[in-house]
Amino acid sequence: MKKLLEGKTIVVTGCASGIGLETARVCKQWGATVLGVDRTMTQEHVDALYKVDLTDPAQIRELLRVLPAGIHGLANIAGVPPTAPAEVVLKVNLVGLKALTLGLIPKLADGASIVNLASLAGFDWANHVSSIHAAEQLDFDDVADFVATHDAGDANGRSYFFSKEALVAWTLQNRWTWRERGIRMNAVSPGPVDTPILGDFVQTLGARAEEDMRVMDRPGTPADIAPVVAFLLSDASGWIRGTNLAVDGGMSSHLLSNLHGL
């Protein structure tokens, strides 16, 4: 029986830990050749590893130069938590992610799949559309000014929330951008996940995070998230386009039910 990703070459960013590490493992298990991208040199479950800091546009350009053509999937997993400075959060979680993705389009095979790791933190994106529009052409050199003039600073983890809101919106916007080549884009939005940075979220969000954890039966694990990412990278998800898929133990349904009086 053919494995779901057999014959596919998949790029996984943030492959050295957490959800990225587990996504690389699952993709390998499902038959893919995995090209890992991370700022550390931990090489596990990957066929090749590229050391890249996504805050550095020169490193992203070099990565785009050396990656092979004919890539079948890109899993944008790399990210930094809300305890990082706002400029770093936006550069890694949004600006660097977009630069890598758009730069990689010419090297993607027809029918390729792009999966962005968003977050339950992006749930409220529709109430921040004006700032999202303002960030559409955001470049590395503009991030400091953007943080100073928009609701995307350090307070209460707002930079992280905004980065995920903008990423969800960007995914929706690109539902058909490369349709003539069969290239699709989707997002996965986890709820709280037990990774090395879960403590950063609790530290930043305080009572808000504690309330979320009280409502849920348990935090997620990377093993809850990675198979969903891998499925979206596979041909089995070929007619799923521009979707933000909640993988959060029902938390977003809980929020929607409360919001609409259900």
Model-wide pTM > 0.85: yes
Cβ atoms of 133 and 204 within 8 Å: the answer is no
The DSSP code sequence of 15-46 is TTSHHHHHHHHHHHHTT-EEEEEESS----S-
pLDDT in tens, 140-160: 999 999 999 998 988 888 999
pLDDT exceeds cutoff 90 at 117 = yes
Q: Is 40 left (phi over 0), alpha (psi -120 to 50) or beta?
A: beta
pLDDT-wise least confident of 3-7, 90-94, 107-111, 203-207: 203-207
Q: Looking at the DSSP assignment, which residues form a beta bridge with residue 97?
A: none
Identify the three-state secondary structure at position 259: helix
The confidence band for 21, taking pLDDT boundaries of 50, 70 and 90, is very high
Looking at domain 9-259, what is its CATH homologous superfamily?
A: NAD(P)-binding Rossmann-like Domain (3.40.50.720)
Q: What is the pLDDT of residue 155?
A: 85
pLDDT exceeds cutoff 90 at 88 = yes
φ/ψ (deg, to 5) at 257: -60, -45
Mean pLDDT across the chain: 94
- Residues 41, 228, 193, CA angle at the centre, nearest 5°? 65
CB-based contacts of 252: which residues, under 8 Å, 6+ apart?
120, 123, 189, 191, 246
